[in-house]
Structure 1
């Protein structure tokens, strides 16, 4: 039972990290947009894409890690595999998938949020050109 609590704590932490990343990305992007449009700085509007894509990748990574730990939780919880998993083991390797981070970054919630930020950045760039 304690093993499941530890895994759930990690899943919660990953979700919290994702929430914080979204907040920081909105703050940084908003500040760069305001500065670029207010001062007619097309270079700043162009550079503003860098943090959006960096935060997008980081958020995708956190979502992927959360999914891995959810799969570990299910493996530990199920009675059929309980005998094959060491107590308190945190090995998420059996749950890995190819292009997992990219798949997570392309999920509706992540891509929708950062796609919106990318569109806002693109409109700001067009506005200052």
Structure 2
């Protein structure tokens, strides 16, 4: 039982790291978008404001990747949980091929509730600021 607990602990540490990375990305996305708008003046070219969408899209994609990795490692956690003690190999490899489900695909993560509820309002705020500053 000791080997299984240690392996589960290792997998849980990876899951925590992925969750922390996702949280940090959300903070960086807001910071960069705010920084872009802070540096832009009222008379700035409209194309400059469109640059604000780049971090939104890039961080949305990267955040979805970390969400996918977290889901894959949760699937690995479940697999290890069900594995017999003498079959524990301490593998930390979690691939889409091994855990192929509807939830464990990139598109599912990209359009998950947590991603949509954060990045769509951020994009809407960008759009609102662009419209307001160029009226």
TM-score, length-scaled by structure 1: 0.87
Q: Which residue of 2 aligns with 1:91?
A: 93
Q: Which residue of 2 aligns with 1:108?
A: 113
Q: Which residue of 1 aligns with 2:42?
A: 39
Task: For 2:86 and 2:73, locate their aligned partners in 1 and report how far apart those are by CA, in whole Å.
Answer: 17
Count residues in correspondence.
Answer: 126
User: 1:45, CA displacement in angstroms?
Assistant: 1.1
User: 1:86, CA displacement in angstroms?
Assistant: 4.8
Q: What is the root-mean-square deviation in Å for CA atoms of aligned residues? A: 2.0
Q: Which residue of 2 aligns with 1:8?
A: 12
- Bigger mean CA deviation after superposition, 14-23 or 100-109: 100-109
Task: For 1:123 and 1:92, locate their aligned partners in 2 and report how far apart those are by CA, in whole Å.
Answer: 40
Asked whether the 8 Å contact 1:22–1:55 carries over to 2, the reply is: yes
**Matching residue within 6, 22, 25 for 1:21:** 25
Structure 1's unaligned 5+ residue stretches are: none
TM-score, length-scaled by structure 2: 0.83
Query: Tell me, what secondary structure is at the counterpart of 1:6?
Result: helix
